[in-house]
Amino acid sequence: MAKNDTSATDSGGTKLIAQNRRARHDYEIIDTVEAGLALLGTEVKALREGKASLGEGYARLDRGEAFLYSVHIGHCAGGNRFNHDPERTRKLLLHRGELQRLTSQIEEKGLTLVPLRLYFRRGRAKIEVGIARGKRHFDRRHDIAKRDADRAVDRALANQRREAE
């Protein structure tokens, strides 16, 4: 599930376009990497309008380069018949050292590259890609149980504070 939020801007000049919240639920994120994106002009316009979804996206390393697949960037309002394909493959812009490090980590069994956030930093489109390992069903249940327990503890502490006043 991707969430569009075009209003979020932090102090570092970063404007959030889309976020893949489902990825943190389905995968254990081991490491993250920031990469640039090779985009067409109409894609940049669509991103500025917040028309992006990372829900089904993934990244792959192929012949020493990184590519982003199945990330949907919709058509911009001012487009014409030469608009981009919304689900086209896009190249990730990484330094050679980062690519080599990613390649060595991905060769490990069971790891994949998952897009986590899409944002503008200083006017340039960036994507945060996570090196992830898929969670098993019992891991997800454990995370849900832990989150529920933390909420119960927070609720109890808040009630104690209210009673003490």
Q: What is the tens place of the pLDDT at every residue in 72-115? A: 888 877 767 777 778 889 999 999 999 999 988 888 777 889 99
- Split at pLDDT 50, 70, 90, the class of 117 is very high
Q: What is the DSSP letter of 135?
A: P
Q: What is the pTM of this model?
A: 0.72
Residues forming a β-bridge with 130 = 32, 114
Stretch among 24-38, 42-56, 98-112, 136-150 having the lowest mean pLDDT: 136-150
- CB under 8 Å to 147, separation ≥6 — which residues? none
Can you point out the beta strands (E) in the chain? 2-4, 14-20, 27-37, 52-53, 58-62, 65-69, 72-73, 90-93, 111-121, 124-134
Each residue of 55-69: pLDDT tens digit?
888 999 988 899 999
